[in-house]
Amino acid sequence: MEAQAYPDVSLQLAKTDDPLPTVSKQIRPPRMAQGLRVSVMAGSDAGARSASSQSKLFVGRSPKAELRLTDPTASVFHVELAVDGDGIVVRDLESLNGTYYQGARIRDATVPSGATLQVGSSLVRVERVTDPESTYAALLESLGETAFGKWKM
């Protein structure tokens, strides 16, 4: 059986001369589950961390922010972080004291994973993370039923 060309196919099971039943199915890999991890490196909340499996996270003094700061120079909702490609989109939410990256005030910019931002008087490291377990579970789900039953983790 000749395989059809798909640029995003990672695995293809095909019929062979083997007497055991086999599966012929095009499999498109699921997107890697992505999230964010934020750590306070310096400031009144040094050591505080937050991680989210969501692709968006808020930092500020609000109890609803995923990373809550007690820093009085941080705004209630200071900055929004979102996964985008290989980087992280940083959007200042009209904070009074601003968000800075490498000494420059930013309002809407993409920074690399591992970048350190100044939020108020705190230094915050932002990282894009992937969740291989969720991605593996999604891959098994995409395989569906087989002659031997459902794929399991």
Q: What is the pLDDT, as a whole number, of residue 18?
A: 57
φ, ψ dihedrals at 102, nearest 5°: 50, 40
pLDDT at 118: 97
Q: What pLDDT does residue 50 have?
A: 87
Exposed, middle or buried, 109 (CB in 10 Å: 0-12/13-18/19+)? middle
User: Residue written as tokens 């505080």?
Assistant: 48
Task: Count the neighbouring beta carbons within 10 Å of the beta carbon of residue 117.
Answer: 25
Instruction: Give the model's pLDDT for residue 138.
Output: 47
Q: What is the DSSP letter of 138?
A: H
Residues of the chain predicted below pLDDT 70:
1-33, 131-153
| pLDDT tens readout for residues 115-144 | 999 999 999 999 888 765 544 554 455 455
| Structure-token match 């700061």, residue found | 69
User: How many C-beta neighbours within 10 Å does residue 33 have?
Assistant: 17
Token digits for 93? 């939410």
- The single-letter DSSP state of residue 31 is P
Half-sphere CA count of 81, side-chain side, radius 13 A: 35
The string over 89-104, giving b where at least 16 C-beta atoms fall within 10 Å of a residue's C-beta and e elsewhere, is bbbbeebebbbbbeee
Amino acid 28 reads R
Total-model pTM: 0.65
Q: Which of 106, 110, 71 is nearest to 92 (CA)?
A: 106
Q: What pLDDT shows up at residue 9?
A: 43
Pairing mode, strands 67-68 and 56-60: parallel
